[in-house]
Amino acid sequence: MEHYDLVIIGGGPSGYAGAMRAIDFKKKVLLIEKKRLGGAGIYDGVLTSKTLWEYSLKISSIREMIPNYEVDYNDIVKTLKESVFERKTQMSVHMQLLQKQTDNLLSYEKGLASFIDKHTISIKKDDGSTKIITTENILIASGSRPRYLPNIAIDEQIIMTSNGVKNLTELPKSMVVLGAGVIGCEFATIFSNLGKTKVYLIDKADRILPFEDADVADVVSENLEKHGAFIHHGASLKRMEIKDGEVEYELQYKDDKTEIFRVEKALVSVGRVPNIEDLNLECVGVKLNEKGSIWDDDTQTHTSNIYVAGDVTTDIALVNVGEREARHAVVRMFGPTIKPLSYQNISTIMFLNPEVASVGMSEQDCVKKGLAHKVVKLDYSTNARAIAMRKTKGFFKIIVTNDNGMRILGMRCVGEHASSAIQAVAYLIHTNQGIRELADMMHPHPSIIEGIQECLRMLLGKSIYKSSVFKDKLKCYVCENGTCTNVETLV
């Protein structure tokens, strides 16, 4: 019977990253993947949706110059296939060559893994055979899948989740998106950008992206509507069903009024659930939390030699978080003592129109926690690079402590190249530094990140543009005890 130092269940981004980190410690590793190396991260998740998003942005730009431009759906399919092929080939070739270079420290098995005991794993192969292996440590990185709703018959053809988008053979004339969170808004953005689909977005709350500040959600809503999308604000779904090959859905509003709509396709985006039902967790003492995900303490489960990483915890379903968790878990197994992971200041990107990048706390987070804070906002229309790109819709917003130290609590950037502007501020938050060093650096010109510099200069009372002149473009205010006060200079 084969024995390993580490067995990793799941060959997606988290599992793959964990395997590569274990190789650094010269450990014998087995990576088990049920379907395809790369998992949902390549085939039904981040890579495919972001490839679609990038493609849709190009089409949107073309349509600004040529309003009647018609997108070729075959070209979309070709682009998606090329993207997936490039990434999966890269990962596969890397793993195969690495196996030879490391004297077979790394092994790979395709099959369905389940626990026999805390050191023994059964692997059911596609041909019906079963392989039993033993191991010292185990990392569960089996990922997640879209959540289904019991009252909606999702067939992944007419009523789809994100997994079913690849089944489209042409762009629909109309589509409803259920779920106004990040993924729902991203797909609403993609299909509205392409210009052939009338998009409806069901928003149960009063605004989309309810976890974000209202000014962020307002810009995204405005741009969705500009591209022809319609948002059902404050609407609850009463029913959704397939009729005559199309989707009929009924909404109920807060005043009890109801409406019925008919569209070609529906996309259901109401969260994800962990892939754990086949693992036989009960036999090894691995417990679940109140959300039905695997409980962990800094990646370690109740069973000391079993760790967990990525979407299977479903707390923060992001590739960068899952990879970081997996690498951290491996270091905990084989490396020196390290400090626990911190989830307080994760940099995120929302692939919307315009792009949204964030790190740290939002304004509404500060208000909920009763934290006194200062806020500075700078409109994209004052940024030379944004003007040159003719992409002036958006803003920078930095939130700092209401004291002389002005430690950064959070940042939101909404607009073109937003993701490239976030990391410097994320580093300041991570290292608990103030703002003066970044404000005094010589930033490249023209660049989007100059907007960050000008925000920090505003906080220090030495900005180039003055908020007393451009009151609609530069804003500074202090929030304390539930009251916000505008000021022209913060020192």
User: Quick one: which of 261, 212, 221 has its CA closest to 237?
Assistant: 261
Give Cα 125 to chain centroid, integer Å: 32
- pLDDT tens digits, 431-455: 877 788 788 888 889 999 899 999 9
Confidence of residue 345 (pLDDT cuts 50, 70, 90): confident
Domain boundaries 354-486, corresponding CATH code: 3.30.390.30
**Range 202-214 burial, b when 16+ CB lie within 10 A, else e:** bbbeebbbeebbe
Residue 112's alpha-carbon distances to 108, 140, 141, in angstroms, are 12, 13, 13
In this structure, the dihedral spanned by the alpha carbons of residues 236, 261, 175 and 38, taken in order and rounded to 10 degrees, is: 40
Mean pLDDT of the chain: 92
- pLDDT tens digits, 76-131: 999 999 999 999 999 999 999 998 888 889 999 999 999 999 999 999 998 989 99
Considering the domain delimited by 159-270, tell me its CATH architecture: 3-Layer(bba) Sandwich (3.50)
Mean of the pLDDT values across residues 291-313?
Answer: 94
Please give the share of the chain, as a percent, with pLDDT higher than 70: 99
Token pair belonging to 423: 């990391």
Backbone φ and ψ for 161, nearest 5 degrees, come out as -105, -175
Residue 330: which residues within 8 A CB-CB, separation 6 or more?
A: 6, 18, 21, 22, 25, 139
- Residue 350's pLDDT is what? 94
8 Å CB contact between 59 and 193: yes
Distance from C-alpha of 163 to C-alpha of 156, rounded to nearest angstrom = 7
- Asked whether residue 490 carries a pLDDT value surpassing 60, the answer given is no
Token pair belonging to 93: 């070739």
Strand partners, 483: 480
Is the pTM for the entire model greater than 0.75?
yes
- Residues of CATH 3.50.50.60 domain(s) within the chain? 3-145+273-334, 159-270
- pLDDT tens digits, 368-396: 999 999 999 999 999 999 999 999 999 99
Confidence of residue 488 (pLDDT cuts 50, 70, 90): low
Residue 340, preceding bond cis, omega within 30 degrees? no
Distance from C-alpha of 479 to C-alpha of 409, rounded to nearest angstrom = 13
- Asked whether residue 161 carries a pLDDT value surpassing 90, the answer given is yes
- pLDDT tens digits, 192-216: 999 999 999 999 888 999 999 999 9
- pLDDT tens digits, 215-240: 999 999 999 999 999 999 999 999 99
Token pair belonging to 105: 């420290």
**Selecting from 3.10.290.10, 2.120.10.30, 3.30.559.10, 3.50.50.60, what CATH number does the domain 3-145+273-334 have?**
3.50.50.60
Rounded to the nearest 5 degrees, what angle is found at the Cα of 206, between the Cα atoms of 201 and 212?
90
Q: How many helical (H) and strand (E) elements, i.e. helices and strands, does the chain have?
A: 13, 24
- pLDDT tens digits, 27-67: 999 999 999 999 888 998 889 999 999 999 999 999 989 99
- Residue 103's pLDDT is what? 81
Which amino acid is residue 400, in one-letter code? V
3-state secondary structure of 360: strand
User: Quick one: which of 402, 408, 418, 396 has its CA closest to 465?
Assistant: 396
- Asked whether residue 466 carries a pLDDT value surpassing 90, the answer given is no
